[in-house]
């Protein structure tokens, strides 16, 4: 019997890693929240307030009530934004493929289109797939129509009658029982304008940061807006936040630990608090006067629940940010300098040899009451000494059983009027996923997987789409190309094509890569930053300014003092003429002498 129990226990330990650690939570997060946005997960089992920087996974549901908006960011930089009265279900989250289901409302998508990636968004009447760079929106109206509008690139749209391609500048309207209609884009509404401005804000920054590994480039805006890059002797270039408001601030302090996918995951309430808390390490550097984030080494970028060391007692829970090179003991593998304690006997770890550098930093250790850790509500706790210098260090997360409140990312009350309507609450994500599979093959059908899709019958409405800012921006400048160059296999060829345009930009990057990104978000966040920043990356503007500076000077020089120059030439003519006459006379004399010499031998 004892052997049987041992075998069962061993089997659980072997199988447990597949369900215990949230290694797949780094693919998708909430990057912006406005209003009482709510979420329902497999852990919460009910609708709860959502939080910025909350990781998302398969099965999660999002509701945006009236006067609300939210943005989801994929790891490749793709953005999905939901307007008020919108419901979105997350069906599939994989490394290169993402699938969503829009129940009602509208979603605006800016798909980065990296090679091999797929984005699929389904509705009750349609399924949309895109494989390449594209910008589009989907609207479900109250009268039963589903409108699919494409602003850039092209997408594949499918309904029960067939499939078609919708190109840039077109809107496809679908309704059950009627023919699909393809028409030019109408004039932009407030929702489109807001998204355009959001896209511009995210794309018209400085070129990609040279201090971040490629995997973290999609989050570079968070770093540029909220901090500065500084070179320190110990670690090279590090990032330090400049928007911290409290004097005793330390990393992993503004937010809470939430139970997700079988582990405690840090959810930061700071707008920039995604990449710095789930990648890399933190260090306190006296020469720069505070905390700094040390990015991970290129080729070793691993997402983690929160890289901290733990000490927990029945009364309180405390943690400290790990410094570079320190071991993270977690339930899973999270890259170099981490140990998966699921596969080892933690009793063999000598905790006396575990030393955390940041425990000696003033205010570096965070201590909260046990009840605060579980419920999220503040309870006073008094600790006279540093727990890491007095108590035994805990290997791995706190051994605290999660409760109902532990699943909630942020504790706040939601008005009843902002709750999801009954039809939304009754939807079963698993049932939708069974009916709508993720289909990666372009020629395969989503709605009729047993047969190839036929061509959709369309009613075409003639006309020209209203010109939008995106077309004007394409003619002026190519900001997206800068990002794509990092992803292309042959970036030097593109750079060699335009050496004149890139040289001035590179100089600006070298001399001022950080000062503008730091000081402007801190002091001029709402206005000047928005005005000055877009001008920096515009190659066309710089190309115009230079000829304006130099060409007029070349033209104006001969026009400034024409009389003076003529007088100078006139003065110079006389001595020149005299010189020429003297030369002629000398030539005559020399010729006469030569003639006399020639005649003498003849005699």
Q: Enter the DSSP assignment of 506.
A: H
What is the H or E stretch that residue 574 is in?
A: helix 562-602
Backbone φ and ψ for 395, nearest 5 degrees, come out as -95, 110
User: Are the beta carbons of 240 and 292 closer than 8 angstroms?
Assistant: yes
What proportions of the chain, in percent to the nearest 5, are helix, strand and coil? 35, 25, 40
- Pick from 18, 214, 31: which is nearest to 114 by CA? 214
Q: Which residues pair with 529 in a beta bridge?
A: none
From CA 153, how far away is CA 521, in angstroms rounded?
A: 32
Work out the percent of the chain whose per-residue pLDDT is above 70. 72
Alpha-carbon distance values, 210 to 216, 229, 281, 349, 508 (Å) = 11, 10, 18, 38, 13
Burial class for 324, CB neighbours closer than 10 Å (0-12, 13-18, 19+): middle
Could you tell me which residues come within 8 angstroms of residue 384 by beta carbon, excluding any fewer than 6 positions away? none
From its phi and psi, is residue 255 left (phi > 0), alpha (psi between -120 and 50) or beta? left
What is the H or E stretch that residue 297 is in?
A: none
- Pick from 324, 346, 335: which is nearest to 397 by CA? 346
Q: Which residues pair with 227 in a beta bridge?
A: 241
- Strand order across the 316-321 sheet: 308-312, 316-321, 366-369
- Pick from 95, 25, 77: which is nearest to 218 by CA? 77
From CA 143, how far away is CA 140, in angstroms rounded?
A: 8
- Pick from 350, 361, 335: which is nearest to 395 by CA? 350
**Token pair for 14:** 């072997």
Q: What is the pLDDT of residue 112?
A: 92
Could you tell me which residues come within 8 angstroms of residue 104 by beta carbon, excluding any fewer than 6 positions away? 85, 86, 87, 140, 424
- The pTM of this model reads 0.75
User: What is the full DSSP assignment across 189-222?
Assistant: -HHHHHHHHHHHHHHSSSSPPTTS-GGGGGGHHH
pLDDT, one tens digit per residue, over 59-84 is: 999 999 999 999 999 999 999 999 99
- Pick from 276, 278, 275: which is nearest to 266 by CA? 278
From CA 392, how far away is CA 353, in angstroms rounded?
A: 11
From CA 402, how far away is CA 424, in angstroms rounded?
A: 27
Sort strands 338-340 and 162-167 into parallel, antiparallel or unpaired: unpaired
Within its chain, how far is the Cα of 447 from the centroid? 32
Q: CA 262, 263, 267: angle at the middle one, nearest 5?
A: 125
Could you tell me which residues come within 8 angstroms of residue 65 by beta carbon, excluding any fewer than 6 positions away? 35, 36, 37, 38, 84, 85, 417, 418, 419, 420
- Pick from 13, 26, 37, 11: which is nearest to 261 by CA? 26
Using only the alpha carbons of the chain, give its radius of gyration: 33
**Which residue ranges make up each domain of the chain?**
66-204+431-454, 248-416
From CA 94, how far away is CA 118, in angstroms rounded?
A: 10
Q: What is the pLDDT of residue 229?
A: 95
What is the H or E stretch that residue 291 is in?
A: strand 290-294
pLDDT, one tens digit per residue, over 148-205 is: 999 999 999 999 999 999 999 999 999 988 889 999 999 999 999 999 999 998 876 5
Q: CA 206, 208, 211: angle at the middle one, nearest 5?
A: 115
Burial class for 574, CB neighbours closer than 10 Å (0-12, 13-18, 19+): exposed
Q: Which residues pair with 268 in a beta bridge?
A: 255
Q: What is the pLDDT of residue 142?
A: 79
Q: Which residues pair with 590 in a beta bridge?
A: none
Q: Which residues pair with 171 in a beta bridge?
A: 149, 183
User: Are the beta carbons of 285 and 234 closer than 8 angstroms?
Assistant: yes
User: Are the beta carbons of 1 and 7 closer than 8 angstroms?
Assistant: no
Q: What is the pLDDT of residue 202?
A: 84
Q: What residues in the chain have per-residue pLDDT under 70? A: 1-23, 204-208, 465, 468-603
From CA 165, how far away is CA 339, in angstroms rounded?
A: 49
What is the H or E stretch that residue 317 is in?
A: strand 316-321
User: Are the beta carbons of 112 and 167 closer than 8 angstroms?
Assistant: no
Alpha-carbon distance values, 594 to 113, 460, 585 (Å) = 88, 98, 14
User: Are the beta carbons of 410 and 39 closer than 8 angstroms?
Assistant: no
CATH of domain 66-204+431-454: 2.60.120.1440
Q: Enter the DSSP assignment of 44.
A: T
Determine the 3-state secondary structure of 448 from DSSP: coil
Q: CA 168, 171, 177: angle at the middle one, nearest 5?
A: 145
How many CB atoms lie under 10 A from the CB of residue 126?
Answer: 23
From CA 123, how far away is CA 173, in angstroms rounded?
A: 13
Q: What is the pLDDT of residue 343?
A: 83
User: Are the beta carbons of 148 and 155 closer than 8 angstroms?
Assistant: yes
Q: Which residues pair with 3 in a beta bridge?
A: none
Q: What is the pLDDT of residue 246?
A: 80
């Amino acid at each position: 019997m004892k052997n049987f129990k041992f075998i069962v226990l061993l089997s659980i330990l072997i199988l447990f890693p597949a369900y215990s650690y949230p290694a797949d939570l780094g693919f998708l997060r909430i990057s912006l929240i406005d209003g009482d946005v709510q979420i329902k997960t497999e852990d919460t089992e009910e609708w709860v307030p959502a939080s910025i920087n909350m990781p998302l996974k398969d099965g999660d549901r999002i509701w945006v009530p009236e006067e609300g908006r939210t943005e989801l960011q994929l790891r490749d930089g793709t953005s999905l934004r939901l307007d008020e009265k919108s419901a979105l279900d997350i069906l599939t989250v994989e490394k290169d493929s993402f699938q969503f289901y829009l129940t009602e409302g509208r979603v605006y998508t800016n798909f980065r289109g990296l090679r091999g990636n797929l984005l699929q968004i389904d509705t009750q009447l349609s399924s949309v797939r895109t494989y390449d760079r594209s910008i589009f929106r989907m609207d479900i109206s109250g009268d039963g129509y589903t409108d699919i509008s494409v602003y850039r690139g092209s997408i594949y749209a499918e309904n029960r009658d067939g499939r078609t391609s919708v190109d840039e500048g077109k809107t496809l309207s679908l309704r059950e029982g009627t023919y699909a209609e393809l028409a030019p884009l109408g004039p932009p509404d407030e929702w489109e304008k807001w998204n355009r401005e959001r896209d511009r804000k995210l794309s018209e920054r400085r070129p990609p940061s040279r201090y971040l590994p490629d995997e973290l480039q999609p989050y570079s805006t968070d770093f540029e807006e909220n901090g500065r890059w500084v070179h320190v002797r110990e670690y090279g270039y590090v990032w330090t936040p400049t928007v911290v408001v409290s004097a005793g601030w330390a990393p992993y302090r503004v937010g809470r630990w939430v139970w997700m996918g079988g582990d405690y995951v840090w959810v930061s309430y700071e707008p920039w608090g995604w990449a710095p808390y789930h990648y890399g390490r933190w260090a306190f550097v006296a020469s720069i006067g505070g905390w700094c984030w040390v990015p991970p080494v290129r080729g070793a970028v691993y997402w983690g629940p929160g890289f901290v060391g733990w000490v927990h007692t029945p009364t309180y829970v405390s943690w400290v940010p790990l410094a570079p090179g320190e071991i993270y003991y977690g339930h899973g593998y999270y890259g170099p300098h981490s140990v998966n304690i699921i596969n080892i006997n933690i009793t063999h770890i000598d905790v006396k040899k575990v030393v955390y550098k940041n425990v000696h930093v003033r205010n570096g250790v965070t201590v909260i009451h046990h009840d605060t850790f579980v419920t999220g509500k503040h309870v006073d706790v008094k600790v006279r000494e540093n727990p890491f210098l007095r108590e035994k260090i805990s290997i791995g997360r706190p051994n605290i059983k999660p409760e109902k409140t532990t699943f909630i990312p942020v504790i706040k009350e939601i008005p009843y009027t902002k709750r999801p309507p009954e039809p939304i609450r009754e939807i079963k994500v698993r049932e939708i996923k069974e009916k709508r599979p993720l289909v990666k093959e372009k020629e395969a059908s989503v709605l009729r997987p047993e047969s190839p899709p036929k061509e959709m019958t369309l009613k075409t409405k003639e006309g020209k789409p209203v010109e939008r800012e995106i077309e004007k921006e394409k003619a002026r400048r190519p900001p997206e190309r800068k990002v794509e160059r990092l992803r292309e296999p042959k970036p030097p060829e593109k750079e060699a094509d335009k050496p004149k345009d890139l040289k001035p930009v590179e100089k600006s990057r070298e001399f001022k890569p950080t000062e503008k990104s730091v000081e402007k978000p801190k002091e001029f966040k709402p206005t000047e930053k928005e005005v000055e920043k877009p001008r920096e990356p515009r190659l066309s503007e710089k190309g115009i300014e230079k000829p304006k500076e130099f060409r007029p000077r070349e033209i104006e020089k001969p026009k400034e003092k024409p009389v003076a120059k003529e007088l100078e030439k006139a003065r110079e003519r006389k001595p020149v003429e005299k010189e020429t006459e003297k030369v002629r006379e000398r030539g005559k004399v020399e010729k006469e002498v030569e003639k006399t010499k020639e005649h003498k031998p003849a005699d």
